[in-house]
Amino acid sequence: MKAPYPHPLIAREGWLFVALAVAAALAVGFLIGWWWSVPIWLAAIFILQFFRDPAREVPDDPRAVVSPADGRIVEVSRSRDPWLERDALKVSVFMNVFNVHSNRSPVDGTVKERWYFPGTFLNAALDKASTANERNALWLRTPEGRDVTCVQVAGLIARRILCYVGAGAELKRGERFGFIRFGSRVDVYLPLEAQPKAVIGDKVYAAESVLAWLTPPTTNTNRT
């Protein structure tokens, strides 16, 4: 199915950057010479591709956990979810500067809580970036009662995490909820019973690629 798409092909987060780059290229071209403006035009093209934000086809299966970002899988492991204080299946997606940086909800669910931590800016491909870097976490609960934690993590170059939802918000699988500027990662913590589909090294696409499959809950959650 088509994800709700109330935004343009070029993400609104990039409009100012694109406008400034084009204005600078035009100014240099008119005032100094068009050959001198070539590097600035190349920079403008790079910025334009960085802020592209295409619509995506979302899998219909309600068990599917879709990728919250474009990029490469750098971790699939049993890990500790520091936000919900539980053992979990962790799947991490690393985004380089050539990936789409719009972030999408991995599941249908209600935002139970949102946390922000102002950390450092290590290379987002490193495992320790998950606990050391600046990050923003969303605790999502699916209609079936499954808890999923989705964490936006800043990287070496990324200096701005944007998240547009808070506690009480309802998100559809594949729905846009945020953006990270210039290289980063997104960690997803799932119940241990989830069945992973993605493996390390896979190239994934936000809202389209399935990271794992959720199984029905076997017991009621203790969290409220």
Per the model's pLDDT, the better-predicted residue between 199 and 1 turns out to be: 199
**Band of the pLDDT at 117, cuts 50, 70, 90?**
confident
Encode pLDDT of 68-84 as tens digits.
999 999 999 999 999 99
Residue 105 annotated among the catalytic residues of the structure: no
pLDDT per residue as tens digits for the range 25-58: 999 988 888 888 899 999 888 888 888 888 888 9
pLDDT above 70: percentage of residues in the chain: 83
Q: What is the 3-state secondary structure (H, E, C) of 115-160?
A: EEECCECCCCCCCCHHHHECEEEEEEECCCCCEEEEEEEECCCCCC
What gap in Å lies between CA 224 and CA 208, rounded to an integer?
A: 30
Q: Percentage of residues in the chain with pLDDT exceeding 90?
A: 53
Q: What predicted TM-score, i.e. pTM, was given to this entire model?
A: 0.81
Q: Among the options 67, 102, 184, 209, which is catalytic?
A: 184
- Output the average pLDDT for the chain: 85
Residue 2's pLDDT band (cuts 50, 70, 90): very low
Helix/strand/coil percentages in the chain, nearest 5? 20, 35, 45
Per-domain residue ranges for the chain? 12-50, 64-213
- The mean pLDDT of 129-154, rounded to a whole number, is 86
> In the prediction, which pLDDT does 132 show?
62
Alpha helix ranges (H) inside the chain: 15-31, 34-50, 129-132
Among the four given CATH numbers 2.70.70.10, 1.10.1030.10, 3.40.50.620, 1.10.10.10, the one describing domain 64-213 = 2.70.70.10
Q: What are phi and psi of 184, to 5 degrees?
A: -175, -160
